[in-house]
């Protein structure tokens, strides 16, 4: 596969990009498209959260400390994820129900999607930290809190 | 909004929780063999505590909030009471007001904490327990590096806390808390069935303390604390069947440079001062420097605590400044030597304390029936003919002086051991055993000087006991007791075979005891004859007796009060009263026991009683038989009524009138009436109608009423007679205090013509009489008194039957 990709002619790649660009230019941010995308994003995030919880809990439970076990639940990106996803779902359902085709709500939905994606990326990064390097990540966090207090 | 609400914790709670979690995380990391991050964690914990300590200088409020939320270590400065202007409230004015605010009731807080120890916010404990968690995890995983580093963190904290001092904060308390916890950690490593010694035992048990104690930078205020914990840890090692640790401690002491071997410093200082004095041609050098060897040399050996050290330093400085440096200017070499001598004194103090720790451990090991430790310690003691002069590194005392110095502190050692000893019994016996073994195993110095026990006891009495008779007497009595016990134990099993197997050595030890006793006795004899008697002691003794007499000489004052003839009556018969005795002069010698305090009180009263009886006998002799009447107790009131017109004096003897006359209106006791005239204080108790009533308690007489008409009294007279030296006038007495130790006519006269009782006592040993007299003082406190009542005096004696 790698060899095949490297053998692609420059003109082909250019064409591929120009086609993609044309497609994007022609894209219309209509209701159906946005609702479709939003539902995919919201669904993906909603499914990922319990999976992430399961992964994280295997790492935090070994410390046999309730507060450490609950530490992930206090993470900003987890704690408020649901509040970022829910508007997407409500607005999407609202748009379908009220048959709103255009207007500022589509842009709001687009913004909410983007914001959720950013937060989700951060969330995934934290899950990654918990899964791979929890002790280091968490103790650094604890030390930072202590250092701030000690600074006076 | 509950979804968004996060429980807010205060700063201290956050710190405590976070430290706990960091400890837990580090423990899990150790299980996973992550050593480096744990070392990092330890470093961070160490730094954090140090940063909190530094907050004291930058943010005191936060410091107290974090370190001492329960006010355990804060020193509350109280304003001193101005006692000069302080007026005590009367009994009825006292009111109890609880001014404590609810938040100030630390007792209640502590009470709650006591019942719920988990609720106590103790950051220091959390820091320590974080380290302990890490240590325990590393111990289970046998991660030596982490264990070592954990211990270093604790040690570093101790080193950092050590020099800290503040008037507002008790850093020593914090340090003690650390040491306490460190001891607990040590006990946890010792308290195993495994006989294998933990690799960090030496650090935990003694090296932490020894390194601190013998460091030049150590805070002197904390040295006693370190010694206490040094002993506690080693004691636990013995208690928990790990004597190998104590053995290694003894070896460490022997291999060390703790022995204060540079005791020749004072000779250098002597030479330097001598050269300087000669250079400036300053008078009698030898006299000026006479005190130096004593102060800068011999006395230092016996400095055992910081009070003694401070006293010695003060005395040493005063001597140099007042007697030497007013004649010469000290140069750098002299100052350097003085500094060296002061360092030596401190080092000697530390070494002496270390020896006492070893002695306590050995006594406890004997109690545990383990003699191997003692043998191990004694193995290092050099023989008397060793040529390693001053280079001896033995931790156990080898010279007799050192041994006596340890024995001198037996009461302190016993007291300290009592705190720890299981069952609190038998301390004295095992300590005695240890001293006997040490004396039995003692090898006198022969190589460079002949260590003579008698001379050693004499020197010890001078340098260590300051020629204080009480201390010397105490030492002698203890040595005598030890000797008597030794005589028994050498014949008794298992002591004979275990401790004293060699018959020759037993004989030598008995001689040693005898010689030491003889040494102490010779010092005592010397003190008994030559000990100084202060002038204040002499005069205080005599004036004390006289003032006691003056409290009770009631009859003389009564006669003089109601005298009908102010002159000395014709034909008055005098009787001599007072003291004429030989008394032990040791009682008056400086630093001896409190001199005859009971004697002073008793004898003063005796003289007054003697005089009072004479006064009463004079009245009783004039009572015709018909006036000597036996009555019943209930008749007392009738008798008093009979003589209540004021023309008679009533002396009540051994009767408590207040109970008999409690309902009698005519009876007016002085204690109820402030306005009545008190004729003779403590004798005159009131009036029965117009008659003054006096009361005496004297077991010589029956319960009785002695009544005399006022006009029958002629007079009572007290005279001293002619006063010639050595007598002098003291109040109404002529007194003399003759010290017979001083050769003179008094000693000669009394030796030649002793009183009969003395001659009788010494009839078979006349040669000892002079020495006996030299240990005495001859005290005379004399006067003569006479009482007279009229031949036809109207007086009555009513004796109560039964």
If DSSP states are collapsed to H, E and C, what string results for B554-623?
A: HHHHHHHHCCCCCCCCCCCCCEEEEEEEEEEHHHHECCCCCCCHHHHHHHHHHHHHHHHHHHHHHHHHCC
Residues B38 and B30 sit within 8 Å (Cβ to Cβ): yes
Q: Residue B52: which of A136, A139, A150 has the nearest Cβ?
A: A150
Q: Which residues pair with B777 in a beta bridge?
A: B583, B739
Q: Residue A89 in 3-state DSSP?
A: helix
Q: What is the rounded average pLDDT of the residues B168-194?
A: 86
Q: How remote is the C-alpha of B438 from its chain's centroid? A: 27
Please tell me the distance from the alpha carbon of residue B405 to that of residue B353, in angstroms, as a whole number.
11
pLDDT at B305: 87
Decide: pTM greater than 0.90: no
Which of A18-22, B308-312, B404-408, B452-456 has the weakest average pLDDT? A18-22
Scanning the structure block, which residue is given the tokens 């705190």?
Answer: B419
Integer angstrom CA distances of residue B257 from B69, B263, B297, B792, B801: 43, 14, 19, 95, 85
Helix B123-140 and helix B144-161: axis angle, to 10°?
A: 160
Alpha-helical regions (H) of A7-30: 10-26
Give the closest-approach CA distance of B167 to chain A in angstroms: 23
Contacts of B66 in chain A (CB under 8 A): 149
B648-653 and B691-696 beta bridge pairing = parallel
| Mean predicted confidence (pLDDT) in B306-318 | 91
- Rounded to 5°, angle at Cα B444 from B442 and B447: 140
Chain B hits for A68, Cβ within 8 Å: 21, 24-25
B687: helix, coil or strand?
Answer: strand
**Residue B114 C-alpha from the chain's centroid:** 36
Q: What is the pLDDT of residues B492-518, one digit of tens each?
A: 888 888 888 888 889 999 999 999 999
The dihedrals phi and psi of B103, each to the nearest 5 degrees, come to -75, -15
Please compute the mean of the pLDDT values over residues B309-336 and round it to a whole number: 86
| A122-126, B103-107, B431-435, B774-778: range with lowest mean pLDDT | B103-107
Decide: B686 and B784 in contact? Cβ < 8 Å.
Answer: no
Strand B575-584 to B628-631 pairing:
unpaired
Is it the case that residue B392 has pLDDT exceeding 80? no
Report chain B residues whose CB lies below 8 A from the CB of A67.
17, 21
Structure confidence at residue A2 as a pLDDT band (50, 70, 90): very low
Compute the distance between CA of residue B374 and CA of residue B499 in angstroms, rounded to an integer: 10
Answer yes or no: is pLDDT of B390 > 60. no
B216-220 contacts at long range (C-beta below 8 A, 24 or more positions apart)? B217/B163, B218/B162, B219/B162, B219/B163, B219/B165, B220/B306, B220/B346
Which residue of chain A has the CA closest to B58? A152
In this predicted structure, the answer to whether residue B106 has a pLDDT above a threshold of 70 is no
CA closest to B5 among chain A residues: A74
**Residue B316: which residues within 8 A CB-CB, separation 6 or more?**
B295, B296, B341, B342
Closest-CA distance of chain B to residue A140, Å: 9
In chain B, what residues touch A62 (CB-CB under 8 Å)? 28
User: What are residue B465's phi and psi, to 5 degrees?
Assistant: -105, 0
d(CA B172, CA B225) in angstroms, rounded, equals: 9
On chain B, the residues whose CB falls within 8 A of the CB of A150 are: 15, 48, 51-52, 55
State the complex-level ipTM. 0.75
| B350-361: average pLDDT | 91
The residue of chain A nearest to residue B6, with distances taken between CA atoms, is A74
Span B515-529, pLDDT tens digits = 999 999 999 888 888
**Which residues of chain B are at the A interface, by a Cβ-Cβ cutoff of 8 Å?**
6, 11, 14-15, 17-19, 21-22, 24-26, 28-29, 34, 37, 41, 44, 48, 51-52, 55, 58-59, 62, 66
DSSP conformation letters of B491-507: TSTTHHHHT---HHHHH
The H helix count followed by the E strand count for chain B is 32, 12
Q: Is the per-residue pLDDT at B386 higher than 60? A: no
Residue B22 to residue A142, Cβ atoms within 8 A? yes
pLDDT at position B733, please? 93
Which residues of chain B neighbour A152 with C-beta distances below 8 Å?
Answer: 55, 58-59, 62
Strands of the B795-800 sheet, one edge to the other:
B628-631, B795-800, B704-709, B648-653, B691-696, B684-688, B667-669
Structure tokens at B666: 């005519």
Chain B closest CA to A81's CA: distance in Å?
13
Choose between B801 and B544: higher pLDDT.
B544
Nearest to B51 among A74, A142, A150 (CB): A150
Comparing CB atoms, the residue among A64, A67, A149 nearest residue B15 is A149
Q: What is the pLDDT of residues A40-50, one digit of tens each?
A: 888 988 899 88
Residues of A within an 8 Å Cβ radius of B: 62-65, 67-68, 74, 135-136, 138-139, 142-143, 145-147, 149-150, 152
> What pLDDT band is residue B103 in, cutting at 50, 70 and 90?
low
Q: Do A63 and B24 touch (CB under 8 A)?
A: yes
Name the more confident of B350 and B95. B350
Q: Which residues of A touch B17 (CB under 8 A)?
A: 67
Tokens of B472: 């010397």
Give the residue-averaged pLDDT of B69-86. 80
To the nearest whole number, what is the mean pLDDT of chain B? 84
* Identity of the residue in A64, A74, A146 whose CB atom sits nearest the CB atom of B48: A146
- Among B404, B410, B390, smallest CA distance to B454 is for B404
Q: Round to whole Å and give the CA distance between B260 and B248.
A: 21
DSSP string, B211-276: HHHT-TT--GGGHHHHHHHHHHHHHHHHHTT-HHHHHHHHHHHHTSS-S---TTHHHHHHHHHHHH
Query: Within its chain, how far is the Cα of B492 from the centroid?
Result: 36
When CB atoms are compared, the residue of A65, A74, A136 closest to B37 is A136
Best probe of the A interface among B2, B21, B22, B39, by most A CBs < 10 A, is B21
Query: Is the pLDDT score of B101 beyond 60?
Result: no
User: Distance from CA of residue B18 to its chain's centroid?
Assistant: 50
CA distance B411 to chain A (A): 49
Given a cut of 50, whether residue B731 has pLDDT beyond it is: yes
Confidence band of B558 (pLDDT split at 50, 70, 90):
very high
Chain centroid to CA B517:
24
Dump pLDDT digits (tens) for B588-647. Answer: 887 665 557 778 888 899 999 999 999 999 999 989 889 888 888 888 888 899 998 889
Contact A135 B11 (CB under 8 A): no
Residue of B nearest to A76 (CA): B4
pLDDT for residue B385: 53
Chain A residue numbers with beta carbons less than 8 Å from the beta carbon of B21 are: 63, 65, 67-68, 138-139, 142
Nearest residue in chain A measured CA to CA from B24: A63
B428, with CB counted inside 10 A (0-12, 13-18, 19+), is middle
On chain B, the residues whose CB falls within 8 A of the CB of A147 are 48
Selected residue of A63, A83, A143 to mutate for chain B interface (largest B Cβ count, 10 A): A143
CB contact under 8 A, A67 and B21: yes
Per CB-CB distance under 8 Å, the chain A contacts of B15 are 146, 149-150
Asked whether the beta carbons of B21 and A67 are under 8 A apart, the reply is yes
User: In the 3-class helix/strand/coil scheme, how is B178-219 assigned residue by residue?
Assistant: HHHHHHHHHHHHHCCCCCCCCCCHHHHHHHHHHHHHCCCCCC
Tell me the average pLDDT across B411-415: 86
Tokens (6 digits) for B1: 């909004």
Q: Which residue has the higher pLDDT, B802 or B187?
A: B187
* Of the partner residues A65, A147, A150, the one whose CB lies closest to the CB of residue B21: A65
CA pair distance B353, B580, nearest whole angstrom: 50
**H helices, E strands: number in chain A:** 7, 0
Mean pLDDT of B173-186: 88
Are B207 and B252 in contact by the 8 Å Cβ rule? The answer is: yes
Mean pLDDT calculated for residue range B38-67: 88
Q: B28 contacts in A (CB within 8 Å)? A: 62-63, 135
What is the pLDDT, as a whole number, of residue B577? 92
Which residue of A lies nearest to B38 if distances are taken between CA atoms?
A: A136
Among the residue ranges B284-298, B539-553, B691-705, the one predicted with the least confidence is B284-298
User: pLDDT-based confidence at B481, cuts 50/70/90?
Assistant: very high
Q: Which residue of B has its CA nearest to A144?
A: B18
Neighbouring-strand partners of residue B74: B169
Interchain CB distance below 8 Å, A135 and B6: no
CB contact under 8 A, B18 and A142: yes
Separation CA B683–CA B653 (nearest Å)? 11
pLDDT in tens, B216-261: 888 888 999 999 999 999 999 988 888 889 988 988 888 777 877 7
Q: CA-to-CA distance for B801 and B631, rounded, in angstroms?
A: 6
Residue of B nearest to A80 (CA): B4
In this predicted model, which residue has the larger pLDDT, B387 or B588? B588
């Amino acid at each position: 596969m790698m060899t095949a990709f490297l053998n692609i002619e420059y003109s082909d790649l250019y064409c591929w990009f120009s086609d993609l660009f044309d497609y994007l230019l022609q894209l219309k941010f209509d209701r159906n498209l946005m609702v479709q995308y939003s539902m995919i994003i919201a669904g993906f995030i909603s499914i990922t959260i319990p999976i992430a919880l399961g992964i994280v809990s295997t790492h935090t439970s070994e410390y046999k400390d309730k507060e450490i076990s609950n530490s992930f639940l206090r993470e900003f990106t987890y704690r408020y994820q649901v509040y970022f996803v829910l508007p997407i779902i409500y607005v999407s359902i609202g748009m379908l129900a009220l048959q709103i085709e255009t207007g500022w709500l589509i842009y709001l939905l687009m913004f909410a999607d983007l914001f959720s994606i950013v937060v989700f990326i951060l969330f995934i990064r934290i899950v990654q930290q918990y899964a791979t390097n929890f002790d280091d990540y968490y103790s650094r966090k604890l030390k930072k809190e202590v250092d701030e207090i000690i600074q006076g | 909004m509950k979804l968004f609400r996060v429980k807010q914790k205060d700063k201290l709670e956050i710190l405590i929780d976070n430290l706990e979690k960091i400890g837990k995380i580090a423990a899990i990391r150790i299980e996973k063999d992550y050593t480096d991050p744990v070392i990092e964690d330890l470093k961070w914990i160490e730094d954090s505590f140090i940063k909190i300590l530094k907050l004291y200088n930058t943010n005191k409020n936060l410091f107290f909030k974090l370190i001492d939320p329960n006010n355990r270590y804060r020193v509350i400065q109280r304003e001193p009471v101005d006692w000069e202007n302080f007026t005590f409230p009367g009994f009825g004015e006292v009111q109890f007001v609880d001014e404590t605010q609810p938040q100030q009731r630390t007792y209640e807080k502590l009470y709650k904490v006591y019942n719920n120890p988990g609720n106590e916010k103790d950051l220091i404990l959390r820091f320590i327990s974080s380290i302990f968690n890490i240590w325990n995890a590393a111990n289970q995983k046998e991660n030596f590096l982490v264990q070592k580093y954990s211990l270093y963190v604790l040690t570093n904290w101790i080193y950092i806390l050590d020099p800290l001092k503040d008037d507002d904060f008790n850093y020593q308390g914090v340090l003690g808390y650390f040491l306490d916890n460190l001891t607990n950690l040590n006990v946890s490593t010792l308290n195993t069935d495994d006989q294998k010694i933990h690799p960090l035992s030496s650090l935990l048990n003694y090296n932490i303390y020894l390194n601190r104690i013998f460091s030049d930078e150590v805070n002197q205020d904390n040295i006693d604390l370190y010694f206490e914990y040094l002993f506690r840890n080693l004691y636990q090692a013995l208690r928990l069947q790990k004597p190998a640790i104590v053995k290694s401690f003894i070896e460490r002491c022997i291999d060390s440079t703790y022995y204060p071997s540079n005791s020749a410093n004072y000779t250098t200082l002597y030479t330097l001062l001598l050269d300087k004095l000669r250079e400036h041609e300053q008078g009698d050098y030898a006299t000026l420097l006479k005190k130096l060897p004593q102060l800068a040399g011999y006395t230092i050996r016996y400095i055992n605590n910081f009070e003694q050290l401070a006293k010695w330093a003060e005395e040493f400085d005063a001597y140099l400044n007042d007697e030497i440096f007013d004649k010469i200017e000290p140069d750098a070499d002299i100052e350097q030597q003085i500094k060296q001598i002061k360092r030596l004194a401190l080092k000697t103090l530390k070494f002496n304390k270390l020896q006492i720790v070893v002695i306590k451990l050995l006594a406890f090991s004997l109690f545990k029936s383990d003699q191997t430790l003692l043998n191990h310690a004694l193995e290092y003691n050099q023989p008397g003919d060793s040529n390693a002069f001053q280079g001896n590194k033995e931790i156990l005392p080898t010279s007799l002086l050192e041994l006596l110095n340890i024995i001198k502190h037996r009461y302190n050692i016993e007291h300290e051991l009592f705190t720890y000893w299981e069952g609190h019994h038998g301390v004295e016996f095992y300590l005695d055993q240890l001293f006997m073994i040490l004396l039995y195993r003692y090898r006198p110095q022969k190589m460079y000087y002949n260590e003579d026990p008698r001379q050693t006891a004499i020197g010890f009495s001078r340098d260590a006991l300051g020629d204080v008779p009480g201390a010397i007497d105490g030492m002698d009595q203890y040595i005598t007791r030890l000797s008597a016990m030794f005589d028994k134990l050498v014949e008794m099993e298992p002591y004979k075979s275990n401790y004293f197997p060699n018959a020759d050595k037993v004989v030598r030890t008995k001689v040693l005891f005898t010689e030491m006793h003889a040494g102490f006795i010779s010092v005592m004899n010397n003190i008994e004859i030559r000990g100084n008697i202060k002038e204040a002691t002499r005069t205080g003794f005599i004036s004390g007796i006289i003032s006691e007499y003056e409290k009770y000489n009631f009859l003389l004052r009564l006669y003089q009060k109601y005298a009908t003839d102010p002159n000395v009556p014709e034909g008055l018969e005098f009787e001599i009263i007072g003291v004429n005795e030989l008394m032990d002069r040791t009682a008056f010698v400086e630093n001896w026991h409190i001199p005859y305090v009971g004697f002073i009180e008793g004898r003063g009263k005796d003289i007054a009683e003697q005089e009072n009886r004479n006064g009463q006998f004079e009245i009783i002799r004039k009572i015709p038989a018909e006036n000597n009447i036996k009555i019943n107790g209930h008749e007392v009131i009738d008798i008093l009524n009979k003589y209540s017109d004021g023309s008679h004096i009533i002396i009540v003897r051994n009767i408590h009138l207040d109970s008999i006359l409690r309902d009698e209106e005519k009876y007016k006791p002085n204690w109820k009436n402030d306005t009545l005239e008190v004729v003779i204080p403590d004798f005159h108790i009131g009036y029965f109608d117009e008659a003054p009533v006096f009361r005496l308690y004297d077991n010589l007489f029956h319960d009785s009423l002695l009544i005399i008409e006022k006009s029958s009294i002629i007079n009572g007279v007290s005279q001293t007679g002619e006063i010639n030296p050595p007598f002098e006038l003291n109040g109404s007495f002529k007194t003399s205090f003759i010290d017979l130790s001083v050769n003179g006519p008094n000693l000669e006269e009394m030796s030649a013509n002793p009183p009969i009782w003395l001659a009788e006592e010494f009839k078979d040993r006349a040669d000892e009489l002079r020495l006996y007299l030299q240990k005495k003082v001859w005290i005379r406190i004399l006067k003569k008194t006479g009482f007279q009542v009229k031949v036809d005096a109207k007086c009555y004696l009513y004796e109560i039957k039964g």
